Amino acid sequence: MSQAKTDYYSEEKTFSAPSANTQQGNQLPSKVYNKGLKDLEDNDIEGLLSKLSIDELEDLNNDFDPDNSMLPPSQRCRDQTDKEPTGPYKRDNLLKFLEEKAKTEKDWDDVCPYTPGVKRGKVYDSDSGRNSEEPEVGKMEMPIEIDLDDDEEELECALVSAPEKDLVDLAGILGMHNVLNQPQYYNALKGKTQDETTGTTFNGIIQSYVPRIVPDEPDNDTDVESCINRLREDDTDLKEVNINNMKRLSKERIRTLIEAACNSKHIEKFSLANTAISDSEARGLIELIETSPSLRVLNVESNFLTPELLAKLLRSTLVTQSIVEFKADNQRQSVLGNQIEMDMMMAIEENESLLRVGISFASMEARHRVSEALERNYERVRLRRLGKDTNA
């Protein structure tokens, strides 16, 4: 069974094939060439290919697109290996044949023959947009030509004796823009001379900012033993205890210091920032806040306190309502949680003495309501001061 080539590729030629998307009994004709191939199943295509002759398959194979990357390389072009071999493969003979063939073939004719030292064609100048054969009016040609041998002493002597103005041009040509200002650098690239407006020395470069040397903060030299004894004796002169950054202080001494602070009725500021305390040492601060009517500032920043304990510390400030500043930011657990934040927020809203709270809230509602509560407390302080001034 054979068909003419023109009959096979005719667009009017159709085949009846069952559709993969339809049920049996509803078979619709679809074109095999160029259209309808997605609706055919593999068995249908194999059945159609089995009915083609060898010549028709050969023509179908030659019709593949060689640039189609979806096909394997073996199927992108027709099979051209049907020629009988002339003999066994010999690599040396093949290379010799290729070399002799290359020598006998005539080279391509050049429009302009090659001549050593002569540029062929026109050279385009990117700066002026014109050919280099036509120099720009009023522009100086590149004046610097250095012809030195490999002798380092001769090169060093030439650079030492050169004026600083020429060295500025040389630095710009070599691309050393970090030692020149912008006008000097671009004048050197364009072949323009350096003038007084741009500067002819290297002193025109903007000096970098030299940071001011700040001495290190001295170590905390607080005498913890003396503070413990004075707190136990309720010394009226001891109003502030600061053990910030004392990480080497033992946890037992910190517990003892907090217990001693509970006996003092005159302490106003207690700072334990960056002392590596955890919940087990900081639980004594709850009793300190609830029992000390003089405490105004508490700082426990940069430690390892949990959000639950922070919420208890804020809740304990409602007992005496004497705390003015509470700092507890930068703990190990950065996320407090929505329930903990709401508990802290309500504790701050109920407190009428807090003016500054150092806690990072993730919830927008908590930040907004805490800010409003602190503003109300500031307003109470202002009205109380105005009332005292009026009475006075």
Please report whether residue 65 resides in a domain.
no
In a domain, 74, yes or no: no
Same-domain check for residues 237 and 349: yes
- Residues 114, 115, 116, 121, CA torsion sign: negative
- Total domains in the fold of the chain: 2
Q: Is residue 190, in this structure, part of any structural domain at all? A: yes
Q: For residue 5, is pLDDT > 50?
A: no
| Per-residue pLDDT tens over the stretch 356-372 | 999 999 999 999 999 99
In a domain, 376, yes or no: yes
258 and 188, same structural domain?
no
Q: Angle formed by the axes of helices 182-190 and 164-173, to 10°?
A: 80
| Same domain assignment for residues 271 and 339 | yes
CA distance 141 to 135: 8
Pair 228, 358 in one domain:
yes
CATH code, 276: 3.80.10.10
How many Å is the maximal CA-CA distance in the chain?
125
Q: 244: domain range?
A: 224-386
Q: Does 213 fall in a domain?
A: no
Same domain? 242 vs 357: yes
* Average of per-residue pLDDT across 298-313: 94
Comparing CA positions, the residue from 314, 379, 320, 301 lying closest to residue 342 is 314
Buried-exposed string 347-366: b where 16+ CB fall within 10 A, e elsewhere? bbbebebbbebebebeeeeb
- Does an H or E element contain 206, and which? none
Whether 236 and 364 map to the same domain: the answer is: yes
CB 353 within 8 A of CB 323: yes
Pick left, alpha or beta for residue 253 (phi over 0 → left; psi -120 to 50 → alpha; otherwise beta).
alpha
For position 36, what pLDDT does the model report?
54
Query: Which residue shows structure tokens 């671009």?
Result: 186
Distance CA 251, CA 333 (A): 20
Q: In whole angstroms, what is the distance from residue 32 CA to residue 11 CA?
A: 9
277 and 323, same domain (yes or no): yes
Q: Is residue 265 domain-resident?
A: yes
Please state, rounded to an integer, the average pLDDT across all residues of the chain: 78
For residues 235 and 378, membership in a common domain is answered with yes
| Cβ contact 366:342 at 8 Å | yes
My answer on whether 369 and 308 are in the same domain is yes
Q: Give 138's pLDDT tier (boundaries 50, 70, 90).
A: very low
Buried (b) or exposed (e) across 58-89, using 16+ Cβ within 10 A? eeeeeeeeeeeeeeeeeeeeeeeeeeeeeeee
The verdict on 169 and 301 lying in the same domain is no
Residue with tokens 């309720």: 234
Where residue 224 falls (left for φ over 0; alpha for ψ -120 to 50; beta otherwise) is: alpha
Do residue 263 and residue 353 come from a single domain? yes
- Would 43 be classed as within a structural domain? no
pTM: 0.48
DSSP string, 282-347: HTHHHHHHHH-SS--EEE--SS---HHHHHHHHHHHHHH----EEE--S-S-----HHHHHHHHHH
Q: In what order do the strands lie in the sheet with 356-358?
A: 240-242, 269-271, 297-299, 325-327, 356-358
pLDDT one-digit tens code per residue, 71-96: 777 767 666 677 787 788 889 998 99
In the structure, what pLDDT confidence band is assigned to residue 37 with cuts at 50, 70 and 90? low
For residue 5, is it within any domain? no
Section 192-198 average pLDDT: 70
d(CA 360, CA 354): 16
Same domain for 193 and 314, yes or no, is no
CA–CA dist 142, 173 (Å, integer): 10
Q: How confident is the model at residue 197 (pLDDT cuts 50, 70, 90)?
A: low
